[in-house]
Amino acid sequence: MSAGELFELIMPAAFVISALLSTFVLASARKRFSLRYAIALAAGTLLLPLIIFPTYLAITIWRKAIGPPQKWRYALPLIYATIVMSAIGAFYYFDSRTVDAHLARAERAKLVDDYTTAIREYRGALALEDDPHTRKLLAIQLAQAGYTTEAVSEFRLAQQGGEPDDSIHYQLGILLERLNQNGQASLEFQSFVASGTCSQTDARCESARNRLKTPQR
């Protein structure tokens, strides 16, 4: 399990524990303080549980309870817990459906060569935001998964969207060769050889030049 996966697993549990501690502090503090201070302590515990909760426990040593509250004794903590838990749930629900969340899950899937999940997450990100770089990443995963025709389409869309990566020409050349479209493949290799990338040292440039010299059957 990666550090990112561990973090995503721990954080929801940490928020829930903070919410439960906060609810406990609210119910307990109402026996010692006014409602205003009790709510302030509960909110502080929710936001800074490792600081406020031990501090509150220390306070309870010298500030004894003066008796349970007469009004809303159980209802107020229950309402508070419901609101906080609902807010946490809503936050994670909507956060898990953002572009960044889809891209993060796709990156984790790539680490274990899970092409199906990576493709699904990139498509989910594109459904929210049409980005040429994301289309290029999707095309790479489609190519690796064997979806050659779909990969070509996504590379084309990435180019049309303004993705500046010159290596797309090389990737397209390889894919078009697989589809026996050697004329189109040669044009892509020519574009790659003439690109700014090949003005520098790049092993793929030599591969593209060799392919132009030796037409693929």
Q: What is the pLDDT of residues 150-165, one digit of tens each?
A: 999 999 999 999 999 9
Average pLDDT, the chain: 89
Which range scores top for mean pLDDT: 29-38, 94-103, 113-122? 113-122
Q: 27-70: per-residue pLDDT in tens?
A: 999 888 888 999 999 999 999 999 999 999 998 888 877 777 76
CATH number of 99-213: 1.25.40.10
Query: Where in the chain are the domains?
Result: 3-95, 99-213
Q: What is the pTM of this model?
A: 0.67
pLDDT for res 98: 93
User: Between these two residues, 3 and 42, which has the higher pLDDT value?
Assistant: 42
Cβ-proximal residues to 23 (8 Å cutoff; 6+ apart), any chain: 42, 77, 80, 81, 84
Determine whether 207 is exposed, middle or buried from the number of CB atoms within 10 Å of its CB (0-12, 13-18, 19+).
middle
Residue 215 banded pLDDT, cuts 50, 70, 90: low
131: DSSP letter: -
